[in-house]
């Protein structure tokens, strides 16, 4: 089998392993957040941060849902410097999250200290939380959310692309519901 055929089959298989009822739960959580006048906060590291930026803009512009991400260099470097990298995201939530907000945390490994601490901050603040992880089924982020989507792979690109497509599918589902 050719590399690309195998590559695309692997990603396709990962995409299809999601339980659609979990995606519907995500849609319901987002709709509840909107109804309650909350905003969506999306965060991740590296490629997951890039996904967070893209999806946040699509929620806002395409779906008309207020959404932010924490990818501003000045915020990240200031909070990392003042609170430590492992706490910059939890401190950002402390400063920017409101009680009716919905947080979406993306972590391929589910082991990044700053994401694990953000999960704990969400619990402390009683914020609704959706997590997207991969790698080990027992990663600490995977069990921390109200809804936890997991990709059964240890390949970063497969995990990240699956997360990206699942999140964009949520955006498109919400757009389609407004068109009805």
Instruction: State how far the alpha carbon of 113 is from the alpha carbons of 2, 38, 104, 124, 139, in Å.
Output: 38, 26, 16, 16, 11
Tens digits of per-residue pLDDT, 112-146?
999 999 999 999 999 999 999 999 999 999 999 99
Tens digits of per-residue pLDDT, 76-105?
999 999 999 999 999 999 999 999 999 999
Which of the 8 DSSP states describes residue 116?
A: H
Domains defined along the chain, listed by start? 3-179 (3.40.50.10490)
Tens digits of per-residue pLDDT, 31-78?
999 999 999 999 999 999 999 999 999 999 999 999 999 999 999 999
pLDDT tier, 176 (very low <50, low <70, confident <90, very high otherwise): very high
Instruction: Answer left, alpha or beta for residue 42, where phi above 0 means left and psi between -120 and 50 means alpha.
Output: beta
């Amino acid at each position: 089998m050719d590399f690309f055929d195998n590559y695309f089959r692997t990603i396709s298989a990962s995409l299809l392993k999601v339980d659609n009822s979990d995606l519907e739960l995500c849609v319901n959580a987002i709709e509840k957040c909107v109804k309650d006048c909350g905003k969506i906060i999306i965060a991740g590291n590296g490629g997951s941060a890039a996904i967070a930026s893209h999806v946040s803009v699509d929620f806002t512009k395409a779906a008309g849902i207020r959404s932010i991400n924490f990818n501003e260099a000045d915020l990240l470097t200031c909070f990392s410097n003042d609170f430590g990298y492992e706490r910059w995201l939890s401190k950002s939530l402390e400063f920017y999250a409101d009680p009716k907000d919905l947080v979406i945390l993306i972590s391929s490994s589910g082991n990044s200290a700053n994401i694990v601490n953000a999960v704990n901050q969400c619990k402390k603040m009683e914020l609704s939380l959706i997590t997207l992880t991969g790698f080990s089924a027992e990663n600490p982020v995977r069990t921390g959310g109200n809804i936890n989507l997991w990709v059964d792979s240890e390949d970063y690109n497969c995990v990240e692309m699956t997360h990206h497509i699942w999140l964009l599918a949520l955006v498109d589902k919400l757009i389609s519901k407004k068109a009805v």
